Amino acid sequence: MCRFSGLNDPRYEKVAAAFQRLVQPLLGESNIEICVEESGPRSRARTPEANFDGKTLSEAQHREMMDRLRFKQMDARLLTLKTAQTKTCRWLLKNRHYMDWINTKKISEHHGFFWIKGKPGTGKSIMMKFLFWEAKKTMKDSIVMSFFFNARGGDLEKSTPGLYRSLLLQLLEKAPETRHILDYYGASGFNAIKEASDWPDEMLKEAFSRALEKLGNQRIVCYIDALDECPEDDVRDMISFFEELGDLEKAVEFRVCFSSRHYPEISIRTGLQLVLELEQDHKNDITLYIDTHLKVGATTQAEDIKAEILVKSSNIFLWVALVIPILNKEYDRGRIKALKKRLREIPTGLHELFLDILTRDHKNIGELLVCIQCILFAARPFRPDELRIAVEAGCEDDPPDEPCDSAQMTADNLRRFVLDASKGLAEITKSKEPTVQFIHESVRDFLLKDGGLRKLLPTAKNFEGQGHDKLKRICSLQISLPIARLKRVGRASYPHRAQECPDWAQEYPLLQYAVEHIYFHANWAQKLGLDQTAFLETFDTLAWTMARSNSDEGAFLAIWHPHLLYFLGEYGSADLIGIHPERHKHFQLEGGQFRYPLVAALYGGHSAAARAFVNLPQLHDEASANLAQTKSRRSFTMKKEGFSNKRHLISFLCEFGDVDILRIVLESTYSEVMHDFTINWRQCLQHASSEAIVDVLIEFGAASLELAKSNSHVKPLNLLNDDEEPTLLIFPHLELALKKHPPLINQAEFWGDSKSLLSYAAERGFEQISKLCIKDTYDHNIQDALCCAVLGRINHSSRLAVIKFLLDAGVDLRTSQKSRHDRLIFEAMLRPHNEEVVALLLPIPSLDLEAKREDLTPLLWAIQESRKTFVKMLLSAGSDPMARTTGGTTALTLTVKLSDLNSFRCILSNPKCEIDARDNTGRTALSWCATVADKTAITMASDLIKQQSVDPNSRDNSGQTVLMRAVRSGSPELVKVLLKSPRINPHLASRRGSTPLMLAFKISHDYGCGRVFWEISRMLLLTGKIDLDCQNRRPTLFQLAKVYGPVGLVRLVECFYRCCERDRMDELRDLEWHGKEIN
C-alpha cells in the first residue's frame, strides 16, 4: 500500500508512475501520461517558509497545531442540550426567513446572516441544536459547523477565542485541503504556539479567514448559539469580523445563524431576524410538548390544566419543562384536586419558579447553599466528584483525612447527588470530562442579578465574599489532608522525588483544584472585604508545595522553596500582596523560576499584582491615564522563553512597560538594583517597550553613563536640574540629552544592534522619537531605519505610522544596497496583517516588483500564498502578469492550479496578460483547468473559452488536446462547458490518432468508471461531429465500443447510429444509463 496526501507527494508520483506503466499498453499510446509531474494541480501551496527556507510543516506538526485548538469542554453545551421532541421545531425549516437564508439567490439581500432572538428559556438552544443536526443531514455539499456559547462553562466555552478555536478546528477537520494554511506560519509560528500552549486571538481569526479562501466554491454554514453568554464587546468584535468575511471577494458562501436573548441589543448591517416567542408555530410546539409529557389523562379537567399551563408559561419552554414533572408527581399520588391547587400556586415568572423550587422544602439547606456557592464562585466548573467532595467538606466540621470512597463516585451516584444537592437546578454535562453546571443560564441570573441569593438568605451579608471564603477554606482543608495522613503514618518529611509521592490526585480528587485556586479564592475574599491576614499568617507553603509535587514544577519549587510572596505574584493575588507584612522586602526574597516575586507577577501577566508589590493602585481605567502612562502599556505578552537569570531585574520592568513601577524601583533604596543598573543599562534599553520607558532610562542616567564612559571630558548629565526647558512633555529627558550631545543620535554602540537612534525607534514603532531625531540622522541611517520599521515584529500600528512618516520625509532608497532594498517587499508580505505596510511600499519608484526570491516574483508568491489582496495591489502597482516560475508556469496558470478564482479573474482582466501562454510542457491555463477539473476550474474554463485569443484545440507537448485532458479528468460538467464553444473540434485526435471519444471508451473499460464516461461519450456523440468510421479507418466506432465498452456503451453507440440514419438525436438525448459500475 502507498498512502499519499496530495499530488505533490513523492508517494503519489510512485503510484501514478505505476499506473502509467499499466495503462499505456492498454491505450496503445505511449506518450499519454496519467497525471504525472505537471499533470495535476498542486494540492498545497508553498508557504513563505517553504519558499525561503525550503521546508513546510510536517503532517505531525499539522496535527499538533490542530490539537492545540482543542479544549476539554468544546462540545459540552451541544452534547448536554436535550434533543428536540419529535415533530417540534420542524416548522422553522419552512419558515420564510429561514428559507430565504438558505436560498443562494437571496444571499445579496442578507449577506448570509440569520438571527434567532427570544426571551430566556424559550428554547433557542434546543432549536439551534435541531437546525444544526438537520443541516448536517441535508446539506451534504456544505461544510456545517457549530459553536454553543456556555456561560456556565470554562473560559473558552464563553469567549470568542473558544469560538474561533472550535470553528477553525472543525473547518480543518471537515476540509483537509485547508490544512496547508498552517504552513504559512512556518516553524516559528509552530514553535510559538507550542511554547505558549495556545493560539493568539488574531492568528486564529487570520487562519480562519485564510482557510475560507482556500475552499473555492463551497458553502460554509455556521450555527452559533447564545451570543448573550459571551462578553458584549467580544460579540461586537466577532460580528464585525464575520461581516468582513461576508464582504470578502471569494467564491465561498459564508452563512451564519445566530441565536441570543433580546438584550444586549447588537446590530448587524444586513441580515434576517426571527423572534421565537412571537411565532405561532413555537406556541404549537409547547402545546405538543405539554400533550406528550403531562400524564393527567384525557378528561375535560386535563384539557383545562393543559390550557392553564400554556397561558402561565408565556411561551417559555423552560418553565413548562420544570413545571410538568412537579404536576406529574402530584398526579401519581392520585390527587387531581391537589394537582390543580399546586398549579395555581406555581408562580408564572421563571425566576419566581426557581425560588419556589429552592424553598418549597427545607431539606439539606446546608448542602444546597454550599452547592450553589461552588457552582457560582468556582474558578472553573467542578467535575462531579470534585463537587461532591467540596459540598461534603463544606458541610462537615471535621472531615476524615482518608482518601475518597470510590464506591460513592460512580456515575449514577454522582448524578443523583448533584440532582439532590441542587434540588434539580444543576446537571452534569455530557462530555469526555463532565462538569457540573446550572440547567440554564437563567438560574445564575436569578441568583446573582435578580436578588435570588438575598431571597434565599435574607439575613446573610456579602454572600459572594462569604462564598469565596468558604471555597478557600475547602481548598485549605484539601491541601492539609494528605499531609495529615503522612504525619499519621510517620512520613511527614517531604519526598524530594515525584515518584516517591503517593498518587494524591487519585486519592484526593479535589486536591488539584485546591492547589491551583486557593490563592484565587483568598484574594477575592480579601477584595470583597473579608480580611485574610490570618490566612497569610497560617498558610503552610511547604504543604502547598508538597501537594503540587506530582508535577516537575512542584518538585522544582520544593527544592527552592520560594517565599509565599513569590506564589502570590505568580498567581496574581494583588489584594493579598497588599496586606502581606513582608511585602516591602520582596527584592530580598529570591527563589523560584523567575527569581523575584515581582518578576513572577510580570511573567504571569498580572499587572495589578506587580503594582501591589511597589504599593501602587491598580489601573482601573487606562483611558484616563496621562499620555506617558498610556504609551507605557505593553501590547504584547512577556514570553517565558525570554526569561534568563542573566538579565537584570530592570530589563524585565522595561519589557513589561509600566512606567510607574519602573520609576519606583529605580528610586528604591535597595542598593543592588541601582548598582547593577549602572552595568546593565544597555540591556535595559534593548528591552524598552515604549517611548516613556526610554525616557525614564535616560532620566536615571543611561545617557550620562555612556557619555562618561566614552569621553572623560564629559560630565554626567544632571537633566532634572537643567535650566533649559524641554519642548516635548512625553520624553523631556531624552530631548534634553540629545540637545546637549547630538552625537548620541548616530552612535550605534549606544543603541545596541541598531545603527542609530532612528533605526532603534523605527524597529519598535516609536513615532515621536523618530520625529525628534530624524533631522540629525545620517542619510544611510535613515534608509536603514525604513528597513527596520518594515521588518519589525512588534507594535504594528505604531510602526506603520513611522513608515508613513519616513516616506513622507522623502527617504531615498536608490542609494541603498539593492539586495536589501528588493527583499523589503517580500519581508513586508511575510508579516501577517501587513497590507497597509505593503501599500505604502509599492509606490516607491525604485522598488523592483520583478525581483525574484527562490524563483518567485512578489506576484507569484502572493498567488501561491492565496494573498488575494496582495495580488490586486501588485497588479495595480504594475507587476508583470506574465511572470513565470522556473518551470514556465505563468501567474494565470498558477491561479488555476491553486483554485484561486479571484486572483485568476484579476490577472485575466489585466491588459498585459497573454491568456493562452504555454508553460514548459506546452500547456495553457485552459489545459490546466481540464486537469484540475474541480468546480472552480470549471468556472475558470468557462471564462477562458469565451476569450477569442484562447485556442480550444491546442495540443500540448504530449500531443493531448484540452478536450482529451477534460475527458481524462472524468468531469462531465467540464466536458459540457468545453463543448459549448462552437470553435472546439470534439473529434480532434492526438498525434497518435486517439480521439476524446476513443479515450472515454478505453478509460471506461480499464477503470470501471462506467456511468461517468458513458455520459461523457454521449455528450461527444451528441455534437454530431463524430466520424462513424473513425476517419475511414478500421476499427469503426461500433467495433471500438464492442472492444472497450460494457453493454451500456455498446447500446449507446447503437442508438447513435440509429439517430444518424434518421438525422435526429432525440433518442440519444433521452437515453438513460442502465449499466453497472465495474469494481
The C-alpha atoms of residue 527 and residue 242 are separated, in whole angstroms, by: 38
Cell of residue 625, nine digits:
491615564
Longest dimension (CA), the chain: 112
Contact present, 893 and 924 (Cβ < 8 Å): yes
pLDDT value of residue 45? 32
The C-alpha atoms of residue 562 and residue 118 are separated, in whole angstroms, by: 53
Closest CA to 770 of 815, 801, 736: 801
The C-alpha atoms of residue 16 and residue 36 are separated, in whole angstroms, by: 6
**Sole residue written with cell 459549448:** 980
Torsional sign, CA 297, 300, 305, 310: positive
The C-alpha atoms of residue 739 and residue 726 are separated, in whole angstroms, by: 10
Give the count of beta carbons closer than 10 Å to the beta carbon of residue 987.
16
Burial per residue of 678-692, b for 16 or more beta-carbon CB atoms within 10 angstroms, e otherwise: eebbbbbbebbbbbb
Separation of CA 463 from chain center: 37
End-to-end alpha carbon distance in the chain: 18
Distances (CA, A) of 937 to 216, 788, 903, 929, 971: 9, 41, 13, 5, 11
Class of domain 360-460: mainly alpha
Q: CB-based contacts of 984: which residues, under 8 Å, 6+ apart? A: 945, 952, 953, 962, 963, 978
Contact present, 892 and 944 (Cβ < 8 Å): no
- CATH for the stretch 64-275: 3.40.50.300
The C-alpha atoms of residue 376 and residue 151 are separated, in whole angstroms, by: 11
Torsional sign, CA 752, 754, 758, 762: negative
- What is the 8-class DSSP label of residue 449? I
Q: CB-based contacts of 183: which residues, under 8 Å, 6+ apart? A: 44, 45, 46, 47, 49, 50, 56, 57
The C-alpha atoms of residue 747 and residue 724 are separated, in whole angstroms, by: 24
Domain 886-1070 of CATH type 1.10.150.20: no
Report the run of H or E that residue 256 belongs to, with start and end.
strand 253-260
Closest CA to 77 of 441, 449, 509, 424: 441
Torsional sign, CA 662, 668, 673, 678: positive
Q: CB-based contacts of 433: which residues, under 8 Å, 6+ apart? A: 72, 73, 383
Low-confidence ranges of the chain (pLDDT < 70): 1-56, 247-251, 335, 399-401, 489-503, 550-560, 620-637, 669-679, 702-730, 813-821, 1007-1009, 1025-1048, 1073-1079
The C-alpha atoms of residue 145 and residue 163 are separated, in whole angstroms, by: 11
Domain boundaries along the sequence of the chain: 10-54, 64-275, 282-346, 360-460, 886-1070
Give the count of beta carbons closer than 10 Å to the beta carbon of residue 811.
18
Contact present, 916 and 949 (Cβ < 8 Å): yes
pLDDT value of residue 46? 32
For strands 436-438 and 426-428, give the pairing: antiparallel
pLDDT value of residue 777? 87
Closest CA to 260 of 273, 247, 244: 273
Closest CA to 686 of 643, 654, 641: 654
The CA angle 49-51-52, to the nearest 5 degrees, is 70
Separation of CA 1014 from chain center: 45
Give the count of beta carbons closer than 10 Å to the beta carbon of residue 80.
23
Report the run of H or E that residue 225 belongs to, with start and end.
strand 219-225
Q: CB-based contacts of 842: which residues, under 8 Å, 6+ apart? A: 825, 849, 873, 874, 877
**Sole residue written with cell 435541531:** 130
Long-range contacts of 351-354 (CB under 8 A, 24+ apart): 351/442, 351/445, 351/446, 351/450, 351/452, 353/319, 353/322, 353/323, 354/425, 354/442, 354/443, 354/446, 354/452
Closest CA to 71 of 361, 432, 419: 432
